[in-house]
Amino acid sequence: MGRSVNPLEPLGRRVAATQDRQLAGFSLADAKRRLLARKPRVEWRMRAALLAAALLALLAVLVFARREPPPLTFVVASDPGHLGEWMAPRDSAETPVKFSDGSTVTLAPASRARVASADGRGAVVVLERGALDAQIVHRATTSWRIDVGAFSVHVTGTRFHLSWDPDREMLHLHVDEGSTRVTGPSFPGGQAVETGASLSLSTKEPSAAAESPAPPPSAVTTVVQPSVAPLVAAPTATATATASAPATAVTDAAPAAAPTWRELAGGGKYKDALQRAESDGFDALVESLGVVDLVTLADTARLAGDLGRATQVYVSIRKRYPGSRDAALAAFTLGRMAFDQRGAFANAAHWFRTYLAEQPNGALAREAAGRLIEALERGGDPEGAREAAAHYLASWPSGPHAEKARSLIASP
Amino acid sequence: MAVPLSAARGDLASVHALPFPGDDVALVAGLRTGSPAAMSALCDRYSAHALRVLARILGDDGELDDHLQDVLLRVVRSAADVEDPSALKGWVSIVAVNVARTALKRRAMRRWLTLRPFDELPEIAGPSSTEEDILALRRTYTLLARLGVDDRIAFTLRFIEGMELTEVAAACRVSLATTKRRIARAEERFASMARLDPVLAAWMEGGSRWGAR
């Protein structure tokens, strides 16, 4: 009677034979040359001495060359300011808040704000409601931030006006001088707003906005610099419970006789915008536009329903700006498109992993990690999904996908 | 009696090296003195074996040449620690397994961070391999990636490299009992995955002991 054969043995032999054919092209002679060409090892005592000297030098640099400036202090009107304390000017009076670096933030009447934190390079100011005018002194290391609702205005040396209406969830920013960068839901990569430009945003859904008194159209304007694309809506298919509603650009800018694709996109007319971009020469645009416009073009194509064109632009962003935050966001969006619109779960998993590789602490890391679990599960990789679930729980034990992750791990 | 070469490092490529005349005991002694001839002989005798062990454990890896260099260098530098110079091949196996284990653990950490483009799966060389062979190889390593590192190492050394259990135990520096447990566990897990695999299922149909599951 013959011995039953372990099928792994012939499989293993076949795998080994295939591998050996691959390894036949490997140059062992090169390996020998590399080994024999190595420089003699520095004697360990000498290495230890060199390392100690290097550490001493580094310590000297850290102690003597890099003196962190003291945290900023500030005065509210004529009183010393305190971190975290709300400042609420009376209805009829503006209130200047003067900082020790020479910067000034003037709160408009009936506003409410606080200085949340301050260090040697700047401060974080939270504007709860109302408006402020800021004159931030620029230095090499200046770094200020104004938080309004779900948005943040990042400042390095600028004069600007900022207002926030929490009831209508409406932000308005006008930059008189310098440049700012606004980050927030739907565009965590940021939107630059520079000298002379304005930006208006609302996080209210159009249907929700219609329920509350809408501002008169003339009260809200968006002025767009040629190099700054207007914001476009970027609804998330699976928004998490804690994520803010997507931002929509609010504009009543009267279109010129022949609106540009940017203007059409800014007005929410994505199909028209895409058509205009096609007639302008879509491929040429993809080659020539800067990253901000590329992101807008990609979003426009996606919202117009043209996944092919959208993919083309996102891939171009990744190729032209490798390693950038925009490239990582493009990867995330490619993942979403693959998952939501194509049902290509393995492809989606690849892109979510790519995002996590490039932005492990990025704004969308939690969402990417959660969606990775879903993509692996739906793609028929339960083991991979369980491992992804374990990694998710290690970082976000209370996150939106935590329950899903736990049920995956617990299932047989 | 052979005269050791005294050429400066870097010039050896232009000098014909005389074959190292001694056995592995002499070779280890030569390594301990930094003899270039001994290092050359080490490469001639055992670099192919080290490369195979690395490839069996790691599968397709774009850094095999660096891993091999790592193994050879570690063997040279650890010559003084070789307990049984006559069993140098076994020592090379141990070092190769350690290097591969470290590479696998780094790979596991990076697993969520893979930068390999989706549509650029690794190209496998070997024009004489059939499509079936290539698929079997790919799928095997895809499943192996789901095993624990130690189980995977034991499995690949046993079933792909074809080592005896005692050789596997020696290379992994664990007891024979531990080796058997790891192999059994890996075998069961791999077989259950392979039976569901579209490519490997056909391989698993043979053998009464496993086919009935």
**Cβ pair A296, A262 in contact under 8 A:** yes
d(CA B132, CA B129): 8
d(CA A252, CA A171): 15
Helix H or strand E encompassing A274: helix A270-288
- C-beta atoms surrounding A64 within 10 Å: 8
Question: For A35, which of B43, B52, B158 is closest by C-beta distance?
Answer: B43
Question: For B9, which of A9, A37, A354 is closest by C-beta distance?
Answer: A37
Looking at beta carbons, which residues of chain B come within 8 Å of A371? none
pLDDT, mean of residues B105-124: 54
pLDDT, mean of residues A203-223: 39
Looking at beta carbons, which residues of chain B come within 8 Å of A26? 51, 64-65
Looking at beta carbons, which residues of chain B come within 8 Å of A383? 146
pLDDT, mean of residues B73-80: 92
pLDDT, mean of residues A395-406: 86
**Over 90: is that where the pLDDT of B102 sits?**
yes
Choose the weakest-confidence range: A207-221, B106-120, B144-158. Answer: A207-221
CA B180-B186-B192 angle, to 5 degrees, is 135
**Over 80: is that where the pLDDT of A150 sits?**
no
Q: In this predicted structure, what is the pLDDT of residue A3?
A: 58
Looking at beta carbons, which residues of chain A come within 8 Å of B68? 31
Instruction: Spell out the residues 6+ positions from residue B147 whose beta carbon is closer than 8 angstroms to its own.
Output: B155, B186, B189, B190
Mutate to test the interface with B, among A32, A347, A359, A392 (most CBs of B within 10 A): A32
Task: For chain A, give the mean pLDDT.
Answer: 78
Torsion angle, alpha carbons of A365, A370, A376, A381, to 10? 110
Question: In which band, very low, low, confident or very high, does the pLDDT at A193 lie, cut at 50, 70 and 90?
Answer: confident
Choose the weakest-confidence range: A25-34, B27-36, B93-102. Answer: A25-34
Choose the weakest-confidence range: A161-170, A285-294, B53-62, B193-202. Answer: A161-170
Please write the tens of the pLDDT for every residue from B138-186.
899 999 999 999 999 999 999 999 999 999 999 999 999 999 999 999 9
Check CB contact of B105 with chain A, cutoff 8 Å.
no
State whether ipTM is beyond 0.90: no
Give whichever of A302-316, B15-29, B102-116, B182-196 has the largest mean pLDDT: B182-196
**Cβ pair B170, B90 in contact under 8 A:** yes
**Over 50: is that where the pLDDT of A190 sits?**
yes
Question: For B55, which of A9, A13, A23 is closest by C-beta distance?
Answer: A23
Choose the weakest-confidence range: A26-40, A105-119, B22-36. Answer: A26-40
Q: In this predicted structure, what is the pLDDT of residue A243?
A: 40
Q: Which residue has the higher pLDDT, A300 or B97?
A: B97
Looking at beta carbons, which residues of chain B come within 8 Å of A35? 39, 43, 69, 72-73, 76
Q: Which residue has the higher pLDDT, A71 or A59?
A: A71
Cβ-defined contact of B137 to A15 (cutoff 8 Å): yes
Cβ-defined contact of A7 to B9 (cutoff 8 Å): no
Check CB contact of B209 with chain A, cutoff 8 Å.
yes
Q: In this predicted structure, what is the pLDDT of residue A305?
A: 82
Choose the weakest-confidence range: A140-154, A212-226, A341-355. Answer: A212-226
Question: For B191, which of A8, A37, A357 is closest by C-beta distance?
Answer: A8
Cβ-defined contact of B72 to A35 (cutoff 8 Å): yes
**Cβ pair B200, A4 in contact under 8 A:** no
Question: For B114, which of A6, A357, A360 is closest by C-beta distance?
Answer: A357
- C-beta atoms surrounding A46 within 10 Å: 10
**Cβ pair B93, B133 in contact under 8 A:** no
Question: In which band, very low, low, confident or very high, does the pLDDT at B89 lie, cut at 50, 70 and 90?
Answer: very high
Task: Tell me the count of A-B CB pairs closer than 8 A.
Answer: 139
Check CB contact of B30 with chain A, cutoff 8 Å.
no
Cβ-defined contact of A25 to B125 (cutoff 8 Å): yes
**Over 80: is that where the pLDDT of A355 sits?**
yes
Cα-based distances in Å from A183 to A180, A205, A241: 10, 18, 19
Cα-based distances in Å from B85 to A55, A400, B96, B153, B189: 40, 58, 17, 24, 37
Token pair listed for A410: 């617990």
Question: For A35, which of B73, B161, B191 is closest by C-beta distance?
Answer: B73
Q: In this predicted structure, what is the pLDDT of residue B189?
A: 95
Q: In this predicted structure, what is the pLDDT of residue A93?
A: 74
d(CA B105, CA B45): 28
